[in-house]
Amino acid sequence: MSLTPRSWRNTKIAAAAAALWAAAGTAALALPQNYEIGFQPANSPVMEQIESFHLELLYIITAVCLFVLALLVYIVIKFRAGANPTPSKVHHNTLLEVAWTIIPVIILVVIAVPSFRLLYFESAIPKPDVVIKAIGKQWFWTYEYPGANAGFTYDSLGLSDADAAKAGKPRLLGTDNEVVVPVGKVIEIETTGADVIHSWALPEMGVKMDAVPGRINHTWFKAERTGVYYGQCSELCGARHAYMPIEVHVVTDAEYAEWLASAKKKFAALDTNVQVAAK
Ligand SMILES: [Cu+2]
C-alpha cells in the first residue's frame, strides 16, 4: 500500500476512466450518467488525488471487513454450542487486548498521513492565472471576473426544463450564462454568500466550497481537458436549492480571450457589485 497520493495508480485510473468516458461518447459533456457507481472522471490534480485516496481507503476497508467476517465465521463454527457442551470461562488476554488497540491505531495513522497530505494540497492554492468570485444567492450564482483585463460581473441562472431542452443543455444543470475558464491554468474560485450559506461544487474538478455570507472562502482547480462541466449548489439553501446549477466551460486560451472580450461588452451594463454591497 503506497502512501503517495500521486502514485502510479493515479495515472492508471485516470487513463482507464478517460478511455471509458471516451468510449461512452460523452467526452465533451461531463455530467452524471445513469447507473454510475464511481466518481465522474477526474479533470484536475485535486480530483485525481481524491480518487487515488478513495481507492486506498477502499482497499483498507475491504481488508478490514473481510478479516472481521472471517473471525466471525471462525468463532461461530469453532465455539458453537453443539461442539462445546461445557462453555469455556476464559477471559482477559493481555497480548490480544494490546493488539486490538495498537493495530487499529496503526491503521488510522496509515489513513491520516495521506489524508492530511491531500488536505494541504487542496488548501495550498498555487499562484492563480484567473480569479473568479462566485456569489451564492437565493437561488442563482453571481460571478465576478475582477482585474484590469476583465472587471465585469453577471448572474447565472438555472434554465427551465423547456429552455434547457431548447438550448440542448441537460435538465437542472444548464445555466443561461456559463462560467468560462482557460484549460491548463490555475483557476482560483472565491466563494461567498449574499443571503444564506450556499456551496460551489464541481465534481470533476474536486471542488466543493461553502459560500458563507460575510466571509470569502478560496478554492482552486486546474482543468486538464476542455469541455463542459456541471455542478450544483451543494449546501441546502432553501426552497429552490436544486435550481441553482453551475455550468463551467473549459476552453483554449484563444477561445477564452475571445469570450473575455465579448463578455466585457455584454456584461458592461450589469453592476451587481452595488447590489452586493447594499446587502
Ligand atoms: Cu444554494
For ligand 1, the distance from its centroid to the CA atom of residue 233, given in whole angstroms, is 5
Q: What are phi and psi of 68, to 5 degrees?
A: -65, -40
Bond prior to 8 in cis (omega within 30° of 0): no
Rounded distance from Cα 142 to ligand 1 centre (Å): 11
* Nearby residues for ligand 1 (ion, Cβ within 5 Å): 198, 233, 237
Does the reported pTM lie above 0.85? no
Tens of pLDDT, residue by residue over 240-259, are 999 999 999 999 999 999 99
* 63-76 per-position pLDDT tens digit: 999 999 999 999 99
The CATH topology of domain 8-27+36-123 is Helix Hairpins (1.10.287)
Report how far Cα 188 is from the mean position of its chain's Cα atoms: 15
Q: Is 96 left (phi over 0), alpha (psi -120 to 50) or beta?
A: alpha
Distance 112 CA to ligand 1 centre (A): 31
Query: pLDDT tens-digit profile of 126-168?
Result: 999 999 999 999 999 999 998 767 789 999 999 999 999 999 9
Q: Name the nearest CA neighbour of 197 among 158, 241, 247, 229.
A: 241
Residue 207 CA to ligand 1 center (angstroms) comes to: 15
pLDDT tier for residue 205 given thresholds of 50, 70 and 90 = very high
CA-derived radius of gyration, the chain: 25
List phi, psi (to 5°) of 36.
Answer: -75, 145
Domain spanning 130-278: CATH superfamily: Cupredoxins -  blue copper proteins (2.60.40.420)
Q: Where are the domains of the chain?
A: 8-27+36-123, 130-278
